[in-house]
Amino acid sequence: MTAEAIKQQVDQYFETVRGYRRQIHAHPELSFQEHETAQFIEQSLPFLSFERICETGLVATVFAPNQDVSSTCLALRADIDALPILEETGLEYQSQNTGVMHACGHDMHSSILMGVAHIVNQNRDALKKSVKFIFQLGEEKLPGGASMMIDAGVLENPRVDEIYGLHVFPDLSTGKVGFRPGKYMASCDEIYITIHGKGGHAALPHTTIDPIYIGAQLLIQTQGIVSRYANPTVPTVLSFGHFEGIGATNIIPNTVHIKGTFRTLDEDWRMQAHQLLENLTRDLAASHGAQIDLLIDKGYPFLVNDVAITAKAKQAVSKQLGNENIVDLDLRMTAEDFSYYSQKVPATFFRIGVKSPHQESMFGLHNSRFNPDEEALRTGMASMLAVVFGQ
């Protein structure tokens, strides 16, 4: 397909795809609970022979001429889950499920892929390579739907030899597309710490084992793991966002709960840092006569964009949208379970701008007022189609 033919068909399906997006946005579902969303996608794309994976995940393949399950294919992935956020956009199609919202753009991702499926199916005779459509459950919650679908065989029959995913990006204006070859996004581990001390009267601290004091020491000392053990050339983040010790002005509590996250772009250092955290909590507990329970819930690995297929995708999208609309992305310490695919097959994960050119700023991802520009649906469809038909 030519660039003009792709543009024409994107324009033809735009209103349909916008309707898909609004329907999905109005009926968001949390990770691993996307039953109605999956059913809606199936019913809207009856020409695809979907297979259910992990209950709410969907996969289907449009085969190129003279190809079948014995051939390799490229895959396109969209995530379909929402977040536990009370929506405050005031949109006429805002969430009807109180406390659940598509605040990360997965409604955009899934509807874009639905539109691409229509156009690919309509032009299957022009395909040089079969295309597998993956509508993935549970991106927002560990262990990550990608890992589950991979374990269930989503990359096989036909075997995927390259995979592409996109994500909305409120820092970019609508019409722009961003790429980055190599390492792009961080691994993500959740840290849960419970300090068991001995509470008592705040006027008699010598009779207590003060878990708040121990917790304060722990927070300060953990930062030394980053500043004094991490290689300065390896991006590393260790942050704590929860510190709870329910005492009072004159009461030292028995227990403190601390929660945080560790992120990096190097697997060896990741494991070393885990061990350093274990050593620190053990030694700190011993020095104060307390008990410290540490749980490191290992999350997504780092995401690496294959250099070759990222260059190929960037070139294809540039031809479709123009060089002036292509930008280079910076490293991000956020995490994405698309990283699991990138650890298995050559992959690229790119960004589409969703900030209206008329806006100076907009609310970001995971915000209750996040409202992407729907014109970006055109950008997303055009980008993915350029990749598919540029093979």
Strands ordered across the beta sheet of 347-355 = 51-53, 57-62, 130-136, 72-79, 159-173, 347-355, 177-179, 326-328
Contact assessment for residue 127 and residue 58, using Cβ atoms and an 8 Å cutoff? no
Which of 81, 140, 162, 337 is an active site residue? 81
User: Residue 340 has which token pair?
Assistant: 């699991």
Measured in degrees and rounded to the nearest 5, phi and psi for residue 251 equal: -130, 125
In angstroms, the CA 177 to CA 383 distance is 8
User: Residue 240 has which token pair?
Assistant: 């704590």
DSSP at 360 = S
Active site residue 373: no
Active site residue 81: yes
Which of 79, 139, 189, 266 is an active site residue? 139
Contact assessment for residue 75 and residue 61, using Cβ atoms and an 8 Å cutoff? no
Closest CA to 141 of 78, 96, 190, 68: 190
User: Which residues are bridge partners to 242 per DSSP?
Assistant: 259
Per-residue buried b or exposed e for 149-175, using 16+ beta carbons within 10 Å of the residue's own CB:
bbeeebbeebebebbbbbbbbbbbbbb
Residue 148's contacts (CB-CB under 8 Å, 6 or more residues apart) are 53, 54, 57, 137, 138
DSSP at 254 = S
User: For 12-158, where are the E strands, in sequence order?
Assistant: 51-53, 57-62, 72-79, 130-136
Residue 133's contacts (CB-CB under 8 Å, 6 or more residues apart) are 48, 58, 59, 60, 61, 62, 75, 76, 113, 116, 117
User: Which residues are bridge partners to 62 per DSSP?
Assistant: 131
Contact assessment for residue 193 and residue 293, using Cβ atoms and an 8 Å cutoff? yes
CB atoms under 10 Å from CB of 320, counted, come to 24
Known catalytic residues are 81, 139
